[in-house]
Structure formats: structure tokens, C-alpha cells
Amino acid sequence: MILKTITFNMCHGEGLDGNVDVERQAKFLKKYKPDIIFLQEIDMYTQRVYSENQIYKFSKNIELPYRSMGINIKYKNGYYGDGILSRFPIEYSANYLMPLIDPNNEQRGILCNKISFGTTKLNLFSVHFPTNFEERKLATEELINILEKIDENEVIIIGGDFNVGVEKIGKHKYKFEKTDTYTEYEILKQYLDKVNNTEDTWISKTGSGCIDTIFFSKNIKLVASETINTKFSDHSAIYAEFEV
């Protein structure tokens, strides 16, 4: 079977024009007919998105009926975190909080879902790594601890904003340093293959770089991939199609 996936940092629905509109994001990506979407930076009921349940609205407009959200922090009278949307029923969902080296840093999470179709079991992860190298390394090691408990015959797909090369240098200020390799990726590549996307996926006033991607287990085949440029977030989406 062909499985179509997308990972997308939706920036709480805010486009480069400053308008918050989850519906236009979902309808734009709908033409790719995804089976699975990994989402980062989702708001639920916060003031800045007018108390909207964004994962429900995204799910409804892209017509993927099954959804889960990992809540990482409370924010402005609501919640903030990551999500997964699926064409198939979600059998299990858990959100693992990433380790912090400073309790004042933003809490991030590893959202895990398990789904099945036929005899195939899929382990899906949506991640948004920290803007601090030491915490990213700890998060990568935590993710590996989870992966090592999964049966080798099961499929693993991880979509996310990995923030490789990014360091926070002040409030809403970041720097990105491009290198040939990133420690976080090299650790994950010992276990998984990676989509070889190279275009910048983060494009904003605060910085830019290729920091979003998809990892997948070696028991499935990558058929096609594409960087989806959109002005409806400060991130592009990554599309990957697999033979499962």
C-alpha cells in the first residue's frame, strides 16, 4: 500500500501575512490527499486564536477524521503542543515530555500514536525539538529510548520540526548555523532513514534554515518526497510517500 504523509509546523495557523487561518492551511494541504499529518505548534482554546480548537478544525477541513494532540504547556487560557491526524483509527496515544536543562525553558513533547491496517502496525511520532542544543540531544536520546522498545517488524515514521542548528539568543530571537551534519540527525540515522530534503523549511523574520523533515524505519520504501512551499505559516511542509 502507498501511504502519504505530511509534516507541518503550522505556527498556530498564522501565515506570513499575520492572519490566523487554520482552514486555509488545511484546504491547501488537502490536495496532496495525505493519510497522515504530523503537526507542530497547535493552539487549543488560547486567546491568540480566539479560543478555537485548532486540531479539530484542521481535521475537519482536511477530512482526516482521527486525531490526537499532545499538550506540552498551558498558554493564554488554553493549551499548546503537537498533533497527529490520521485516515485510520488511532489505537493508542501517549505524549512524552522532553527533558529540560533549565525549568524556565519551553516544555516540548514527543507525541506517539499507534495505528493498524491489516497486519501492518504503524508507530507515528510528531516532534518539535528545543531551540537549545543540549536539550535537543537529550530529546533525541529520549526518543531513541522509546524507539528501542518497538518491535522490529513494526513501522516507524517521525515527522517534525527538529530545530537542528538553531539556538535561541533572546526573546523571539534565534540564530541558525548550517553545517554538513547535525548530531541529532546522526544519532537518529543509526536506527532510521531520512527524507533528503535540503530547501529551507523555516522562513521568518527571526531566521531561516532547513529544520523540518521526516524519518522512517528501514522496513518501508520512500517513493516520493517534496518540500511544499506555503505562505500560510513561517514553515514549509514536507511531503513523503511510502510503500508500506
Domain residue extents for the chain: 2-243
Looking at residue 48, what DSSP letter applies? G
pLDDT at 205: 82
pLDDT at 5 over 90: yes
Q: Look over the chain and give the mean of its residue pLDDT values, rounded to a whole number.
A: 96
pLDDT at 94: 98
pLDDT digits (tens, 9 = 90+) for 74-86: 999 999 999 999 9
| CATH T-level fold of 2-243 | Deoxyribonuclease I; Chain A (3.60.10)
pLDDT digits (tens, 9 = 90+) for 213-231: 999 999 999 999 999 999 9
Kindly indicate the confidence band of residue 57, based on its pLDDT and cuts at 50, 70 and 90: very high
Kindly indicate the confidence band of residue 113, based on its pLDDT and cuts at 50, 70 and 90: very high
pLDDT at 65 over 90: yes
pLDDT digits (tens, 9 = 90+) for 132-171: 999 999 999 999 999 999 999 999 999 999 999 999 988 8
Among 240, 241, 242, 1, which residue's Cα sits nearest to residue 117? 1
Burial of 243 (0-12, 13-18, 19+ CB in 10 A): exposed
pTM: 0.97
Among 70, 58, 52, which residue's Cα sits nearest to residue 29? 58
